[in-house]
Amino acid sequence: MPARSRKAGGTIGSALSREGAMSDIQAVADLAGVSTATVSRALSGKGNVSEKTRASVVAAAKQLGYVVSSNASSLATGRTRNIGVVIPFLTKWFYSSVLEGAESALLSHGYDLTLYNLGGGGDERRSVFEHFLLRKRVDAVIAISLELTPRELTGLLGMGKPVVGVGGPLPGVRTLSIDDVEVAQLATEHLLSLGHRSIAHIGGTKDYERDFHLPTNRRIGYEGALEAVGISVNPGLFQAADFTIEGGYGAAKQLLGNPRERPTAIFAASDEMAIGAILAARDMGLDVPGDVSIIGIDDHELSDFFGLSTVAQFPELQGRLAAEILMEQLHPDKRTRGSLNTALPYELIVRSSTARPKSARQ
């Protein structure tokens, strides 16, 4: 369901204002001897209009005292300057950060957004994709961290409007994706480079699976990094959690409380779980990184406060890039060549939560 919209509509007053605006723009078009679409392009500065025609339209508008209306502009051009953004969770830091980046970029281009938060579950998701997006007047759609079904994709593409996905590849859609296998490998390789050989992983199972198989891919990356240096994967060094601080805390308690094979390092598949692991270690009287090194993924806003080493994936940048791709598709004069799927950047950030194990320091 829509979480918020800056667009007002659906009232008798707004309908009357649209009719009045349409008659005004038609008067300008008649006086200048052009179409209403040409008037909109000339006065908005968007699209190709000759200087002679633009001057004629401006003169006609001035003579009639016409002021450009966003409603009239959308009626004349078929554009609403409104983007539909679909997101799985609004309260999660990562998703809200992607949203902030997208919103900032859209506003800079003069576009508004209508947000659809799918936190309510399957029925709500069906309502958004089968009803709200298809009947809402939007110029384009951004799907954040959603692995759209063939039916959902067919419905969106059938709108004949640009769609951009963030988080992974989608058939026939311009997308931005992070390589979760490579990101997890990098985090694990950092611990290996410090000399750690007993490295635990806090990740997810099918019960916590997310779109684009994020938990599975990060576990694959972790296991691949170990196997690349000849370390066998130990199932006893894996704990599943729900990608929250509380979940990471509980999982770390189980790993660090094992007296027979307590790890010297933990790789958590998200920063929130890594922060939970740091808190669990401290509550157990363990020093981070003296007794156990901990690394996560995201570069959460609290990561620096906790001194957490992490692999940053720049969520705000992801949102901005998605908006820029939409602008290229909405405005052909700005369009540049690009691949269907664009790889997103990531970067290892080393802080104080990781260090060489005690055995290597002695």
Task: Please report, for the chain, the start and end positions of each structural domain, with discontinuous segments joined by +.
Answer: 2-77, 82-177+316-330, 180-312+347-361
pLDDT score of 305: 98
pLDDT score of 22: 47
- Give me 297's structure tokens: 């993924």
What angle separates helix 36-44 from helix 51-64, to the nearest 10 degrees? 100
How many other CB atoms sit within 10 Å of the CB of residue 206?
Answer: 9
Answer whether 188's CB lies under 8 Å from 267's CB.
yes
Partner residues linked to 238 by β-bridges: 201
The reply to whether domains 2-77 and 180-312+347-361 share a CATH topology is no
Q: What is 2-77's CATH number?
A: 1.10.260.40
Top CATH class, 180-312+347-361: alpha beta
The yes/no answer on whether domain 82-177+316-330 falls in CATH 3.50.50.60 is: no
* pLDDT 10s digits, 88-108: 888 889 999 999 999 999 998
> What average pLDDT is seen over the chain?
85
* pLDDT 10s digits, 118-167: 876 677 888 888 788 777 678 889 999 888 888 888 888 887 888 899 98
* pLDDT 10s digits, 209-248: 767 788 999 999 999 999 999 999 999 999 999 999 999 9
Question: Residue 27 corresponds to which amino acid?
Answer: A
Which residue in 111, 110, 152 sits closest to 134, CA to CA? 152
- Give me 296's structure tokens: 């996560």
How many other CB atoms sit within 10 Å of the CB of residue 172?
Answer: 10
Strands (E), the chain: 2-5, 82-87, 112-117, 140-144, 163-166, 174-177, 199-203, 238-240, 265-268, 293-298, 309-312, 341-343, 347-349
| 35 has a pLDDT exceeding 50 | yes
Answer whether 199's CB lies under 8 Å from 265's CB.
yes
